[in-house]
Amino acid sequence: PGENETKVNLEELKTSVLYSGPVDPAEWVGLRKSNPLLVYLRNNLLMLAILAFEVTIYRHQEYYRCRNNLTAPVTKTIFHDITRAHLDDGLVNCIKYFINYFFYKFGLETCFLLSVNVIGQRMDFYAMIHAFWLIAVLYRRRRKAIAEIWPKYCCFLSCIITFQYFLCIGIPPAPCKDYPWRSGNANFNSNIIKWLYFPDFIVRPNPVFLVYDFMLLLCASLQRQTFEDENKAAVRIMAGDNVEICMNLDAASFSQHNPVPDFIHCR
């Protein structure tokens, strides 16, 4: 570019994909020459093997239940004979219970911690949006109120991760057209572009951030399923309910409102 076409200095232009070397158009769609080919395809083959293994297990379980006239368990747990009543019945049963229902009891708190982790890892414009959503969810306070807004939160996470995925891909570099925020009239520098997570040929968006967003979306989706399970009587019998106890209760009289044994104020 000429002197009036961009404000980028020469050292930064040397790191740009457009000017650092020849551009292969096939790489933009995920194709590149590799030798040997098996090394290039090993991750795809590994994913197919894992999916085939998962389908085999589910088909085998379904066939086994049909052959022995068994019904599928109400909850997808490891220890089917462990319920809420076994939580205070020894350390082993306590560990089994939390292996089964840890996310059922503490999934919401896990999602909040992952949201804080996304904010701390990113520290950019989208981290600020995540912070606003976290404040909006915490402002609801009551669990039932959070459950009402949670589907919208999951929709936001799925939309924003898809949008950021397209930002990471960007436009094809083959036409040799730079982005408008790199023009001479734009008052953008590399730090602002990085903070806004804009696609760029010099400061490319960090795709690792999508991993943090995906983990948050995964746990938020599981928590949405948990909110639905809380309304099922069969699940509440097995795992216990998540009904909130009033915060204004006196600690000394707490045991009469607590449905499980209280080992602190039992005297």
For every residue of the chain, DSSP letters joined together read --TTT----HHHHHTSHHHHS---GGGGGT----SSHHHHHHHHHHHHHHHHHHHHHHHHHHHHHHHTTPPPPSS--S-TT--GGGTTS-HHHHHHHHHHHHHHHHHHHHHHHHHHHHHHHH-SHHHHHHHHHHHHHHHH-SHHHHHHHHHHHHHHHHHHHHHHHHHHH-S-STT----GGGSTT----HHHHHHHT---SSS---TTHHHHHHHHHHHHHHHHHHHHHTT-HHHHHHH---PPPPTTS-STTGGGT-SS--SSS--
Number of structural domains (the chain) is: 2
Answer yes or no: do 48 and 99 share one domain. Answer: no
Residues 64 and 135 in one domain: no
Question: Are 144 and 55 within one domain?
Answer: no
* Same domain for 62 and 148: no
Looking at the fold, whether 91 and 204 belong to one and the same domain comes out as: yes
Last residue of a domain, one of 49, 72, 95: 72
- 127 in the same domain as 238: yes
pTM of the model: 0.81
Whether residues 61 and 93 fall in one domain: no
Query: Do 238 and 141 belong together in one domain?
Result: yes
The whole domain housing 51 covers 33-72
- Domain assignment present for residue 267? The answer is no
Domain annotation covers residue 8: no
Q: Mind listing the pLDDT tens digit of every residue in the chain (267 residues)?
A: 666 666 677 777 777 888 888 888 888 888 877 788 888 889 999 999 999 999 999 999 999 999 998 888 777 888 888 888 888 888 888 898 889 889 988 999 999 999 999 999 999 999 999 999 999 999 988 888 899 999 999 999 999 999 999 999 988 888 878 888 887 677 778 888 899 999 988 888 999 999 999 999 999 999 999 999 888 888 888 888 887 765 555 655 655 666 666 665 555
175 & 92 share domain = yes
Regarding whether 152 and 66 lie in a shared domain, the answer is no
Residues 226 and 171 grouped into a single domain:
yes
Let me know if residue 1 belongs to a domain.
no
Residue 89 shares a structural domain with residue 53: no
